[in-house]
Structure 1
């Protein structure tokens, strides 16, 4: 990658109907492609934000086979983009649990990478309780995928709080972060954590969020954003459905790493 390349983050307010959510995702990805994006990131749980955490068990698919995966691959193919497809529920080896999985499709709709979310969110307080480990079996392997913009590290939502994951990617052009941050934790920590991970690793961040009030009453923070290697927010969408785009400039990233060669100064 030498010239700047346009990327996009899609923000959604997914509901309880997978077909309706897929239709919305398709419309927004096609919009991103029409704006010149060559790589697009969808949010976590883009295909379903159920009334209960257990709802995703009913639509879980076998890896590589199922209508949700086929429909998502078709979105990438029809838009002609690299699609980092938020997360889909894939069957796990553990009974009554799923993997919360990011799949990466190339512009031909071929799946090029799979990442199972490693860190599972748990929070209680201020009238809220979340425990992803009740229904999700965690992954264990970090994943970096070669794309049109170069090497991209894959992460999901709560992973953002664990900088060792991102450091372990090595030198990457960007990291993708599909997310469904709660309104409470997002207001406090979302932006500073994203900017910190981009600054630490001198790379771009493409964070695609759920952003609004869902049928269950859950409120997600939104504020999808694209951040540059200096920590500058290039694009942001506060709430609601939509698309943001920005150009990833390899020359600018190289200049940041040359002027402040922190990656080369690592000791530990």
Structure 2
């Protein structure tokens, strides 16, 4: 780097000025050298260290400024991310509420349809259910003859205090009942007698038990009648229940 020194002052162009000496042979020349005459010489090399320090200072300040900008950018990015998450959460909550409201409306529609079906199809539904149940029971009686044992035992238990019991069953059920006579006898008193008779008038899976003072009929049809009444009552109650 160079400087100009003029009138004992350093200038920014990189040169400095020194006065010219007069030659010895020209002593008679009384004209002094012009003030503007000057010799340009290179400044001492030591003068460059100050500029180097200045450059390092500028670079350091630039680096610090860049770091500051970077930190600020990170902070702003974090704030933007939090804002995006908050907005996303709010949007998600709104979507959830919308779906819940749709689900509530759908459930209300389903309840209304269910009530209409039950209201206008109660007898048909009940009768269909009974026919299916009756068919299943008859099929069970074919493959599990022992079911009649429980039906007869239930009827006999209602006359447990009588001393003479007559049981009438369908001829197809007679063999099973006689095979369990000891079991039925244990349901009565020690002195009571029990007799099994076939009857075509008794439906398979049914029985009539006659005691000294009462007659008990246990038929599939009567059981289905009771079941029909219970189902109709339950269906009617369901239609009268307030919606949730």
In the superposition, the TM-score normalised over structure 2's length comes to: 0.19
* Higher RCO, 1 vs 2 (CA within 8 Å, ≥6 residues apart): 1
More helix by share: 2
Larger radius of gyration between Structure 1 and Structure 2: 2
